[in-house]
Amino acid sequence: MIELGSLNNPRAAQGFIDYLKSQGLQGELRSIDGSTVIISVLPEHFHQVQPLWAEFTQNPNHARYQQASWEVGSTQSPLKYQGQSLNLMARFKALSWLNQTVSILSIIIYIAFLLGGFETIYTTLQFNPAEPLTWITPAVVHFSAMHIVFNLVWWVSLGDNIEKQCGKLSLIGLFVVSALISNWAQYLMVGPNFGGLSGVVYALLGFCWIYSALNPKQPALVSTAIIGFMLIWLVLGFADVLFIGMANWAHLGGLISGMAYAVTTSMLKTKSHN
């Protein structure tokens, strides 16, 4: 391995290593004193990594490095250092109030379901065209562990990226608009028996995809690989070949609403600069 440089922030260094992994490059971290980290890379990757390292040192806290850690599944650095473990709890505490509130509320409701409160709680939160509040509440209702974990991972990751690059109001507006549209779409096409944050998640995906395409000079909010994976998942849902039931129309409605929201946001941003 060739030494690339050093950093006195182990968390940020781990994010850079994860970013390299997401780009198909390999690096490693080592530390003698637990505070200063030495970053090394494979000799054949050295020249490719150099410009990425220069970019990283200019802004080591950029959202792309945190996103990379989520994507490659690195939740714990191999380094042992005091008070700087790169863990999920630390990341969660750094999230905005909206991101935390939606996540915690979803978890509380799911736990309440497990404790025997399903019928009472679901009847209250189930979509009802005569009760406007229930046009949004199905977004925080989940029916299985896999269901809630899948949705919250994407909600936390994509939502955090959007907030950091586009501002908190963007995520708030996107959540409300996409929850309304995706829930209404599922209700009109299938009926009221559904729930989950996936319609909103697909809206975040659509927003990240189109916003990044319309603003190529800014760092991409989501990778092409993730876009491809989620679109394939959407198609498989409509093809009804998966082992689980999916709110396909909520997914599609969310995706379209997120894409439209990105176009609107970019247009307003351009107009304000003129």
Catalytic machinery residues: 198, 251
| Residue 71 CB coordination number (10 Å) | 17
Q: What angle do CA 246, 180, 102 make, to 5 degrees?
A: 75
Q: Locate the DSSP E strands across 84-219.
A: none
DSSP state of 257: H
- C-alpha of 56 from chain center: 21
